[in-house]
Chains A and B, each alone.
Chain A
Amino acid sequence: KAGVTQTPRYLIKTRGQQVTLSCSPISGHRSVSWYQQTPGQGLQFLFEYFSETQRNKGNFPGRFSGRQFSNSRSEMNVSTLELGDSALYLCASSRQERSSYNSPLHFGNGTRLTVT
């Protein structure tokens, strides 16, 4: 069974640009969550989608947005990039709407975004 797939693996952008990251969940998983990971802040929750609807949102500015498609694949977009957006962006999927017993989050290997 294929795991969570994130593309691209690495990305370099300049300030002011926008970026779109893609995530394909494990087959059969309908929930997709996005996390930002930095050395200083650790894993910070961005948002969660289930059945194409955003169910939960973290404390990030509106420059961070996402969506989920009918096949459960998800994308996140960051507009007007800032240097502080440099991070590892992780996507995770689970069968149920929220991580729970027997339905934990499974993570991809992330997209490393560098903003210069």
Chain B
Amino acid sequence: GESVGLHLPTLSVQEGDNSIINCAYSNSASDYFIWYKQESGKGPQFIIDIRSNMDKRQGQRVTVLLNKTVKHLSLQIAATQPGDSAVYFCAEQGGKLIFGQGTELSVKP
């Protein structure tokens, strides 16, 4: 079936380094993509989104890249901080909103 998946289940980075979290999707008709951050004991928190007519969008310390040719999405976090430690989900909107399994980001001080 159609799904959105993440390449790496866990990612460990040093504080101050840049983080890259990847995501693959299979529905070429999806027109909207979102990244969410979920901290322990909380619900997913919206980080950044991107429409299918864009290939890059920047926020505060975060950048989302969309490659429709290979159906790949990535989230880049600049100067990663301990507070960035969380599970990150990508999601695609192609009718229903479908979430990937998530990547756990661990930031080492």
Contact = CB atoms under 8 A, between A and B. Distances in A.
Contacts of A110: 42-43
B45 A101 contact: no
A106 B46 contact: yes
A99 interface: yes
Contacts, number: 52
B101 A42 contact: yes
A101 B96 CA distance: 14
Contacts of B97: 33, 45, 98-99, 105
A92 B96 CA distance: 13
Interface in B19-43: 32, 34, 36, 41-43
B93 A99 contact: yes
Contacts of A101: 32, 49, 51
User: Interface residues of B toward A: which range?
Assistant: 20 to 34
Given A42-B101, A99-B97, A107 B45 contact: yes
Interface in B41-95: 41-46, 49, 51, 89, 91, 93, 95
Given A100-B32, A101-B49, A101-B51, A108 B96 contact: no
A57 B49 CA distance: 24
B96 A100 contact: no
A107 B44 contact: yes
Interface of B: 32, 34, 36, 41-46, 49, 51, 89, 91, 93, 95-102
Q: Which 8 A-B pairs have the closest CB atoms?
A: A107-B43, A43-B99, A109-B43, A42-B101, A107-B44, A99-B97, A101-B51, A104-B46
